Structures are given as structure tokens and as C-alpha cells.
Amino acid sequence: MELENIVANTVLLKAREGGGGNRKGKSKKWKQMLQFPHISLCEELRQTTEKDYGSLCERQPIGRLLFRQFCETQPELRRCVKFLDAVAEYEVTPDERRKDCGHELINKYFNPKSEEDYVSEVEEAMMTRCAERLQLEACKELFKDCTKLIHDYLSVAPFADYLDSMYYNRFLQWKWLERQPVTKNTFRQYRVLGKGGFGEVCACQVRATGKMYACKKLEKKRIKKRKGESMALNEKQILEKVNSRFVVSLAYAYETKDALCLVLTLMNGGDLKFHIYHMGEAGFDETKAIFYAAEICCGLEDLHRERIVYRDLKPENILLDDHGHIRISDLGLAVHVPEGQTIKGRVGTVGYMAPEVVKNERYTFSPDWWALGCLVYEMIEGQSPFQQRKKKIKREEVERLVREVEEEYSSKFSEDAKSICKMLLAKDPTARLGCQGGGASEVKGHPIFRSMNFKRLQAGMLQPPFVPDPQAIYCKDVLDIEQFSTVKGVELDPKDESFYSKVSTGSVPIPWQNEMIETECFTELNVFYEDGLVSRDLDWRGQPSPTPKHGLLQRLFGRQDCCGNCSDSDDEPTRL
């Protein structure tokens, strides 16, 4: 039995390392699997794609890169893009160096004598105001109005020219690939990592790119038996909507005969509960706790910006990635709060539910800030504020403590740590930090974060306090993960198909495009010229190449030319 676990772990580690060789986990036929269609096949996409500058040139990663490649062909546009990059660099520069960086930027881009770099699109009065404000304070938002002006300029004539260029044609080809059907054969499957509410979670790898993910399986019969359709669809739609460095991303959603599958960011570093209680003495030092608290705060800010209240913040739902950064996971209880409205619902985990939730009162985002207070307390103390670990306390008693009793603080808490916990754990939500109109900015403004550069944190530029061991598997042994029992007495019928089709929608644009860039597929495939001529797939004079026909003998006896999307492709590792 131990051998089975060793084999499962070895195969997973091998896949995580890229499987050896130069392909970094890609299939032998990955270029065939990601072959661009001829541009003439993208006309329907051209007609149906909304011509929105923000979406096509800023938010979609491949669109952003292609628009910038287009701008590189014209000096005045290249200058604008260089200025935008310089401002982005200024915003993430450490506080002590930001003023010097600002002066360099002004001298380079606001100086009429600097012909090559001078951005004439910015009004002189605005340039003067920026220079004057820089003398007083090098605030991160100094050039905000300037960048808006540049984007306004780029979004008119340059954007219209881009839509008529080969760069936009190439974007349509990428979108065509992005929209291809997703099936179980898009992935290689690896060992089970844990259990979700409706089925197992296992590691998987995209055959075409080598990118590793976690596949959360929602068994169709189990969903139906527990009437979990709306919960499953809600989680899928929220994951799809949120694009945050601090929340797990949904990259693909597909179905098999028995299950709906959500393919999510793979977090190899284990959860915070494991690290709080199983890595030596319980709890973290304050520096480590505050780093994680800052990243969680950013994740909550991104959720709340989309008007989503999370409602299940606890250590086991906070996962670490390979580099030691955290992401919020398991959005099964998250819900959208309509603008100007409040909601109610007694949901969450005992000990982390806010007093207003326990009392079944109405709320918006206040429960998340309460739970952050519980989590900061637990990370420092090594114990939850209202429950003792491994000590059975009745639910009613925990809820009484939450409603009525003040938490106690040991000598592990500095004055700042004690202060932020007390402010987040205010029983009255109207007096709670984060709930007085400023949201996350109130929390970020607490003195405990005085040395935290949130711009750099949000750009992923700060070094985490702990980096997981790349050779470790931070989850239970395969045989220790309890298996689900067979669901009996439930039959699937055709009317369920409507629900399945809402969940299994294929690739999610931003994560899919990021995958293409991160795995270097974009760089390798994004070729515009072959031997000095425009590549054939972009040449309107050419036509799509017909599929080569095999002769009778080849069809009968030859090896079929596999696209690599089939489970019997010749280069796949052992499936477990």
C-alpha cells in the first residue's frame, strides 16, 4: 500500500518538474494541438467580438501583448507604451526610491528636448502639476490622470488601426484556439489531492502546454441527490468572474459522463491550517502572519470589488503556491451582493462566523473582515479566538462566545497585532475595521501594515516569508483520503443537460491566455513572417490547407496520426 503512495507521488513530482527533456511537460504534438486556423475561418469571431479597447488591449493578456506589438511599429505609439510601462514601474518602486524614479520619468517623457520620448499627448498643465506634486510627495497615484489621457488617445485612432492590422487577425486566431472544445483528453490525470463537497480533487496537466492544475470533480449523481445544482453553478460563475492574484482561478470547465470538472490553479504548498499546526510550534511569528494577512486582505478586496462576499474564510481555505504566496480557495458559500442591497444567511464555519451571521441579521461584506480578524489571531496565537483546538465545544457555546465574550490576548501579540485583531473582531459590524465606508483601504491603513508596499505586493514582487519545498507533497497520502461511497437511487435524465451545459463552458479567457504566455507557447507560435513573407495562416490570398488523405493501406495498417488530444497519444505517462 505504501508503494502505491510512493508511485503516485513520484509521478506527480515528475510532472511538476516538467517530465524531463526540453518540452517541459508538453505533448510531442503540442504544435499540432495549437495550430492556428487560417484567418478566413475567424470571420464569425470578427463579427461577434465586442470592439472594446479595455477588454481587447488591456485586460486580455494575449490581446495586450499583440496591441503592444502593433504599437512597436509606429514611433509615436511606441513612445506612449514606453511611458505607460515607466509609470507602472514607478508605482511599484520601493518607497525610498520612488521620488528619484519619478524625477527620471519626468525628465525623460515630459521634456520637449527629448524628441524620441516626449509624450506630447499629455497636456503641459498636467505635466507641471505632476512635477509640483512630486516635490511634495512621491505618491503612487501621481501619474494616474496622465495614464488615463494616454489610454484615451490610444483607444481612438490607434485602436481602429489595430483592428485592421495583422496583429488583430492573430488575436482572432488565438481566440479561435481558446474556444476549442475541452474534454477529459485535454488533460493528463494524476493522484488525488483531497476531497471537495461533491467529489475528489486531483492534480492534472494540460497536454498541449504542460501546465499543472487541480481538477475539482463534481459528481453528477451526488449533486442531484443533494440538490446542489445552484451551489455548484454559483461557485463556477463566481470563480469565472474573479481575476485575482490572491484567489484561485478557474481555467477550464468541462464534463465527463459522470462528473462536471472545474480545473483550478494548483497550489502545491498546502493550506494555512497545515502550516499553523504541523510545522513545529503552533502559530507563526508576527512578520509571517502579517504578510499572509496582507495578501488575504488583497484577495478580499478583489472579491468585494466584484460585490462578492466570501463567507468561509478559515485556515484550511487559504492555500500556498510553489513560491509561498497565498490564494483564497473554495468559493462554494460565496455570493453576489446586489448594489445597494443587504443579504442574510446563517452560513460559514463555526468559530469563524461573525456575530451578525450567528444572529441571522442582514449584512454585506462585514463577515469577511470579522473572519480575517479570527485568522490573524489564530496565526499569531496558534489557536482560534473562540475555540480550543481538539477540544469539543458545543456549537451553541461557541456562538455564545462569538456574540458576547471578548477574546483574550497573550504575550505573543504586539500592541499593533492586538489592535488590528480587536478592530476586526468588533462585535458591532458598524464599528468594525473595513466596514466604515473604506473597505479594504481601511484595513490596509492600519499601523501594522505601515512597512507593507501594497503595490509591490499586488504585483507579486515581495518575497514571501516561507517557500514550500519543491520535493514535498503537502497533502495526505493517497490511501488516507477517504473515498466517496457510490450514490444509489439517483438517475440522470435529459432535463439535467441544461444545467450541465451552463457549467461546462470550456476555457476561461484570461487564465487560458496567461497559460499560453507562461508556458512560452505564445512566444514560440506567435510568428508573423516565414522566409520574409507573411505566414500562410494570415495570408488572405491563401486558403486553409486541406487535411491530408491517407491511402487505403495507410488507413488499414498505418499508425493513426494522433492529434495528442486522445487518451492513447504515444507520449503520455502512467495515469493513476
Q: Note the pLDDT tens digit of each residue in 96-142.
A: 899 999 999 999 999 988 878 899 888 899 999 999 999 988 888 89
What values do phi and psi take at 354, rounded to 5? Answer: -70, 160
The predicted model scores a pTM of: 0.87
pLDDT for position 565: 44
Q: Which domains does the chain have, with CATH numbers?
A: 1-32+183-268+476-503 (3.30.200.20), 39-178 (1.10.167.10), 270-458 (1.10.510.10)
**Element spanning 133, H or E:** helix 124-136
pLDDT score of 515: 96
Catalytically annotated residue among 312, 321, 330, 368: 312
Query: Is residue 238 within 8 Å of 308, Cβ to Cβ?
Result: yes
pLDDT at 571 over 60: no
Of 371, 447, 452, nearest to 414 by C-alpha is: 447
- Residue 575 has a pLDDT of 36
CA-closest candidate to residue 463, choices 287, 307, 314, 315: 287
Res. 68: pLDDT tops 50: yes
In this structure, which amino acid lies at residue 235? E
Average pLDDT for residues 280-307, to the nearest whole number? Answer: 94
CA distance to 312, 367, 542, per residue, from 426 (Å): 18, 11, 69
Q: Which conformational region is residue 275 in: left (phi greater than 0), alpha (psi within -120 to 50 degrees), or beta?
A: alpha
The C-alpha atoms of residue 89 and residue 283 are separated, in whole angstroms, by: 36
Residue 572: per-residue pLDDT = 44
C-alpha cell belonging to residue 186: 485535454
pLDDT tens-digit map of 355-413: 999 999 999 999 999 999 999 999 999 999 888 776 777 888 888 888 888 889 999 99
Return the minimum-mean-pLDDT range out of 194-198, 261-265, 448-452.
194-198
How crowded is residue 23: how many other Cβ atoms within 10 Å of its Cβ?
13
- State mean pLDDT over 159-175: 96
- CA 301, CA 295: separation in Å to the nearest integer? 10
- Plot region of 382 (φ>0 → left; ψ -120 to 50 → alpha; else → beta): left
120-140 per-residue burial string, b: 16 or more CB within 10 A, e: under 16? eebeeeebeebeeebeeebeb
Report the phi/psi class of residue 324: left, alpha or beta, with left for phi > 0 and alpha for psi in -120 to 50.
left
Given a cut of 50, whether residue 252 has pLDDT beyond it is: yes
563: DSSP letter: -
Taking the C-alpha atoms of residue 6 and residue 12, their distance in angstroms, rounded to an integer, is 10
For the chain, how many residues are written?
576
Whether residue 341 contacts residue 287, with contact meaning beta carbons closer than 8 Å, is answered with: no
Q: Is 312 assigned a catalytic role?
A: yes
How many whole angstroms separate alpha carbon 113 and alpha carbon 91? 25
pLDDT digits (tens, 9 = 90+) for 406-442: 889 999 999 999 999 999 999 999 999 999 999 999 9
316 grid coordinates: 484550511
Cell 518575497 maps to which residue?
Answer: 463
Cβ atoms of 134 and 142 within 8 Å: the answer is yes
Strand, helix or coil for residue 351: coil
Q: Cβ–Cβ contacts within 10 Å for residue 554, how many?
A: 13
pLDDT of residue 67 exceeding 90: yes
* Residues in binding site for ATP: 225
Q: Which amino acid type is present at position 87?
A: V
How many helices (H) and strands (E) are present in the chain, helices listed first? 25, 12
pLDDT at 562 over 80: no
- Which range (194-203, 245-254, 552-561) has the least confidence? 552-561
d(CA 344, CA 335): 11
DSSP state string for 375-389: HHHHHHHSS-SS--T
Provide φ and ψ at 287, rounded to 5°: -60, -45
Q: Are 348 and 312 in contact (CB under 8 A)?
A: yes
